[in-house]
Amino acid sequence: MNRFVIADPQLCIGCNTCMAACSDVHKVQGLQTHPRLKVVKIGDLTAPMLCHQCDDAPCARVCPVNAITHKDNMIVLNESLCIGCKLCGLVCPFGAITPSGSKPVDMPDFFDEYVPKEILLDVPDSLPTMNPFLAWNAGIRNVAVKCDLCSFSDEGPACVKVCPTDALHLVEENQLENESAKRRSVSIDTMTAEFDILISQQENS
């Protein structure tokens, strides 16, 4: 089972601190600055939406260059290999992959270095409100971004660390096994109690 981050909408206050922290730590690493999660609101509740690290990840299956792989109990996206085809984002059932046009810090500024800026002056930019799957900006490499659980950090996911209400939690396989064992134990105890009540009722009738 893969590790993943889960959000509790009962605790989330929609402050977007997780998004800001995500953007900052990835920028320092020279990766896309677009946040790997997005706070969404449904009714009166808010919660961050991010990659579920699916065991049978459809994004990995459709990637034509194998830029998305299963590694270290998570689904890893290599931004250097990504060709920006956007197929992974289209098949993600949770909408957790977004094409981003922000330049990684360690990416050579190709257009500034090799192409005179005057050539690009008549190329229109996409509106900021345009859907990222349709947007296009000259001189900006389009790369898919998704939650990587901040695998480069020994402190774990930045979003979990900075959440002021502890609404985000990193779930490991052993935690799920322990929780499943607890639920099985509760179910057995409940069934035993109900059975004892039935026997008692039959004996008294």
- Whose CA is closest to 84, among 105, 67, 96, 70? 67
**CA separation for the pair 167, 155 (Å, rounded):** 17
Rama region for 50: left / alpha / beta (φ>0; ψ in -120 to 50; rest) = beta
Q: Give 169-200 pLDDT, tens digit per residue.
A: 999 876 655 555 556 666 666 677 666 677 77
Can you give the pLDDT at residue 130?
83
Q: Give 124-160 pLDDT, tens digit per residue.
A: 777 778 888 887 776 677 889 999 999 999 999 999 9
Asked whether the beta carbons of 10 and 35 are under 8 A apart, the reply is no
Can you give the pLDDT at residue 192?
73
Can you give the pLDDT at residue 97?
94
Task: For residue 47, give every residue at least 6 positions away whose Cβ sits within 8 Å of its Cβ, in sequence order, or none.
Answer: 7, 8, 9, 12, 39, 40, 167
**CA separation for the pair 194, 12 (Å, rounded):** 37
Question: Taking the model in full, what pTM does it have?
Answer: 0.71
Rounded to the nearest integer, the mean pLDDT of the chain is 83
Q: Which percentage of the chain shows pLDDT scores above 90? A: 54
